[in-house]
């Protein structure tokens, strides 16, 4: 079964030529410039959309999908989430991780397990790991190098 990863959301149509304005959920939105296809979710089912063009407009990216050529064509896409499959995922630099790879990881301190990563919350300063210990309590650890020795 194919896995999909959320990377962005369509904010609105943009202009009269069928472009959509995209809000990125990734730290590497420049990867959008190389994408050939993405998937949009329609009622729980992923539909493949081929990309004709991607433009970088300041902090925003604009996508032009095949067969969507007007303002009216893209109205139905507003609010849709954009996914990629594992083949389209960017290769991350050292010490960067996808959130889906961190969820479920064991967390140790002095070789003693303190819990498991249940979630990662993003804040402007840095991400925070939400760790659940054996008693079901949450422990929050900033995702910064000062608090992390290494990842296996």
User: What's residue 95's pLDDT?
Assistant: 72
- Nearest CA to 27 out of 120, 97, 131, 100 is that of 97
Separation CA 83–CA 88 (nearest Å): 9
User: What's residue 80's pLDDT?
Assistant: 96
Please determine, for residue 130, whether its predicted confidence score (pLDDT) is greater than 70: yes
What CATH class does 4-87 carry?
mainly beta
Distance of CA 139 to the CA centre of its chain: 24
Entry pTM: 0.71
pLDDT band at 122 (very low <50, low <70, confident <90, very high): confident
User: What's residue 152's pLDDT?
Assistant: 63
Q: What is the pLDDT of residues 16-55, one digit of tens each?
A: 999 999 998 887 888 899 999 999 999 989 999 999 999 9
The mean per-residue pLDDT over the stretch 77-99 comes to 83
Coil, helix or strand at residue 102: helix
The mean per-residue pLDDT over the stretch 106-135 comes to 88
- Please report, for the chain, the start and end positions of each structural domain, with discontinuous segments joined by +: 4-87, 99-147
Strand ordering across the sheet containing 106-109: 106-109, 112-122, 127-132, 138-142
pLDDT band at 144 (very low <50, low <70, confident <90, very high): confident
Please determine, for residue 137, whether its predicted confidence score (pLDDT) is greater than 80: yes
CB 74 within 8 A of CB 20: yes
DSSP string, 25-69: -SS-GGGGGG-SEEEEEETTEEEEEEEEEEEEETTEEEEEETT--
User: What's residue 36's pLDDT?
Assistant: 94
For residues 66 and 25, the model is more confident at 66
Q: What is the pLDDT of residues 92-113, one digit of tens each?
A: 777 777 777 788 888 888 888 8
């Amino acid at each position: 079964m194919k896995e999909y990863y959320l990377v962005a959301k369509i904010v609105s149509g943009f202009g009269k030529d069928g472009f959509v304005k995209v809000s990125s959920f990734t730290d590497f939105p420049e990867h959008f410039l190389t994408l050939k296809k993405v998937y949009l979710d329609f009622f729980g089912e992923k539909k493949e959309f081929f990309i004709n063009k991607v433009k970088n407009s300041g902090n925003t990216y604009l996508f032009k999908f095949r067969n969507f050529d007007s303002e009216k064509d893209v109205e139905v896409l507003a609010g849709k989430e954009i996914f990629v499959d594992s083949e389209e995922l960017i290769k991350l630099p050292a010490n960067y991780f996808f959130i889906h790879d961190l969820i479920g990881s064991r967390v140790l301190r002095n070789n003693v397990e303190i819990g498991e990563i249940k979630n990662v919350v993003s804040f402007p300063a840095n991400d925070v790991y939400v760790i659940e210990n054996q008693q079901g309590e949450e422990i929050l650890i900033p995702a910064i190098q000062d608090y992390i020795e290494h990842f296996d």
